[in-house]
Amino acid sequence: MLKDFHQHQEPPPGFGRDFPGFPMSNLCVPFSRQQITILLLSVSLLVLIINLWFSLRRPKFRRLPKVQIAILSDHFVQQQMQELANDARQQFMSGVAAYQQQHWSQAEKHFLNVLQQEPNQPNLHALLGLAMLYGKRTEKAIYYLKVAVDSNCALREDALWNLAQAYLLETKADLAEEALQRLVALNGKYAHEAREQLRRLQPIRD
């Protein structure tokens, strides 16, 4: 019964017919294939231009960092050994051997083991921070390098330089600039390179 009712329902008057001066065909104007192609190309070009604009404005800090490997003299190693307990000395020497061969993951492991036994060794913080930088563990490297920088250890200046590089890797321009200015003020072995990095960093920040 209901089925018959729907079959016999007539559409309302004027349904589906053209209105005066406005044909129903105008409600749907199809685009040609050429128009669609042009539209898609225009959108793609716009996206490319936007991405290029952002890439040009993005600071290129990753081109700047130059991590320095501190040279560990025999005197330094012997002095450090004297400051360590017997249980930590073998781990330290294994870390030094890995460090000098630039086996950074092994060096990190050994230095970390030493610091767990001897936490008040800022030189080891500097070495561990450097190993972590090369291991691409920048955030943790910053923590250990800051401990060394805030001390009067033998590797303090090396740690300060590498801390600046770590800040650059993390795109922390203000902190990197501050560390580089401290190196310039120290007028030590990194002063010239610090001035050069400050000069190169300024246009990027502007």
**Domain membership of residue 49 as a residue range:** 33-60
53/104 same-domain check: no
pLDDT at position 3, please? 47
Average pLDDT, the chain: 82
Q: Which of 60, 76, 107 is the last residue of a domain?
A: 60
Q: Is the pLDDT of residue 61 over 90?
A: no
Q: What percent of the chain has pLDDT over 70?
A: 76
Q: Is the pLDDT of residue 25 over 70?
A: no
Q: Is the pLDDT of residue 136 over 70?
A: yes
Q: Is the pLDDT of residue 97 over 70?
A: yes
Q: Which residues contact 84 (CB under 8 A, 6 or more apart)?
A: 92, 114, 118, 121
Q: Is the pLDDT of residue 85 over 50?
A: yes
pLDDT at position 203, please? 64
Q: Is the pLDDT of residue 33 over 50?
A: yes
Question: Based on the number of CB atoms within 10 Å of its own CB, is 142 exposed (0-12), middle (13-18) or buried (19 or more)?
Answer: buried
Q: Is the pLDDT of residue 128 over 90?
A: yes
140/111 same-domain check: yes
Task: Give the number of domains in the chain.
Answer: 2
77/178 same-domain check: yes
Domain contains 28: no
53/144 same-domain check: no
48/141 same-domain check: no
51/78 same-domain check: no
What is the SS3 assignment for 19? strand
45/130 same-domain check: no
Rounded Cα gap, residues 158 and 127, in angstroms: 9
46/111 same-domain check: no
pLDDT band at 59 (very low <50, low <70, confident <90, very high): very low
81/115 same-domain check: yes
Higher confidence at residue 81 or residue 10? Answer: 81
Domain contains 3: no
Q: Which of 60, 79, 113 is the last residue of a domain?
A: 60
| 135-143 contacts at long range (C-beta below 8 A, 24 or more positions apart) | 135/104, 135/105, 135/108, 137/108, 138/166, 138/169, 138/170, 139/170, 141/166, 142/166, 142/167, 142/170
pLDDT at position 202, please? 77
Rounded Cα gap, residues 96 and 106, in angstroms: 10
Domain contains 173: yes
End-to-end CA distance of the chain: give it in Å, rounded.
Answer: 80
Rounded Cα gap, residues 67 and 106, in angstroms: 18
What is the SS3 assignment for 71? coil
Mean of pLDDT values over 50-67: 56
User: For 164-176, what is each residue's pLDDT tens digit?
Assistant: 999 999 989 999 9
188/117 same-domain check: yes
CATH number at residue 79: 1.25.40.10
56/116 same-domain check: no
56/138 same-domain check: no
Of 27-36, 46-55, 172-181, which has the strongest mean pLDDT?
A: 172-181
> Is-contact 85 118, C-beta < 8 A?
yes
